[in-house]
Amino acid sequence: MLEPSDRKAAKEFLEGLKQHLNRVIRPEDVAWWTLSKKAFAQKGKAVQYEGSFVAECVLWAVYHYLAKTSHLPNDARNALLAESRDAKHRGWTSGSPKSTKRFLFTKELGVDSSAVAKVWWGDSTGTSPIYPDWAFRAPCPYRVVFEAKFFRDGGPDPRKELVNGIYQCFYYRAHPETQETKTHPAWKYDYACLFAYDASEKHVLVEAWNDLKKEVKDACWDSANIFVMVLPVRE
């Protein structure tokens, strides 16, 4: 069981990560990146903004925060897990955060039980793989699993996007621990973090988070060990 002092230090560590990402991921750079992605997209193919944003604009900054706080670049690489192959090639990560086990339910909120039944009794395996966006493990002192959201103009309702993101963090936290294998790291996380970046013109996702009841915000951390960072934040 985590001691209160551990949780306090973990929250301070994640708050430091939030401030770091808010400082180095500049809105003007994100706007240029988004436009360039759209301009160079292959005709007839949808642009996968979210995964590309994490791989190209976020993971390098996460790696440097770990390196700065640990003072050992090798420790930062070993501590950071991510799906991006490019990030591993660049020496930022040491593997994938994918779980070795499969789960009974998907991370989608509000799926009808009849739809689940079709999967369970269907032709597939009936279970779902677990693919978080990135995660921290030892030698980082805090074991954290991350869900990332990239919000643009014309996207879903910002309130629903926050609900879905926080729920998905809750989903990750509900997954039981697994032991490390030769091919996969252990699934063993004490905390989850929602990283949501608002690239909309009027920052409607940031406004939705700011308007959320304080009791709900506090409960994310106090009741569920979920840290929420919605960027950019005007300092």
pLDDT in the model for residue 189: 95
What band does 203 get if pLDDT is binned at 50, 70 and 90? very high
All structural domains of the chain with their residue ranges? 4-96+132-231
Quick one: CA torsion of 26, 20, 213, 157, rounded to 10 degrees?
40
- Confidence (pTM): 0.92
Give the type of residue at 186.
A
Extract the tokens encoding 231: 């960027």
pLDDT in the model for residue 3: 60
What band does 179 get if pLDDT is binned at 50, 70 and 90? confident
Give the torsion sign (CA, 12, 86, 175, 164): positive
pLDDT above 80 (res 40): no
Report in angstroms the alpha-carbon separations of 38 from 42, 52, 94: 9, 12, 30
pLDDT in the model for residue 70: 81
pLDDT in the model for residue 185: 85
What band does 125 get if pLDDT is binned at 50, 70 and 90? confident
- Inter-axis angle of helices 214-224 and 158-174, nearest 10: 10
Reported as a single tens digit per residue, the pLDDT across 93-114 is 999 999 888 888 888 888 899 9
Average pLDDT over residues 148-163: 91
Residues 209, 13, 215: CA angle, nearest 5 degrees: 35
Tokens 């910002």 appear where? Answer: 158
pLDDT in the model for residue 74: 82
Percent of the chain with pLDDT over 90: 65
What band does 169 get if pLDDT is binned at 50, 70 and 90? very high
CA 216 to CA 202: how far, in whole Å? 23
pLDDT in the model for residue 147: 97
Sheet of strand 134-136, all strands in order from the earlier edge strand to the far edge: 80-82, 134-136, 144-151, 191-198, 226-231
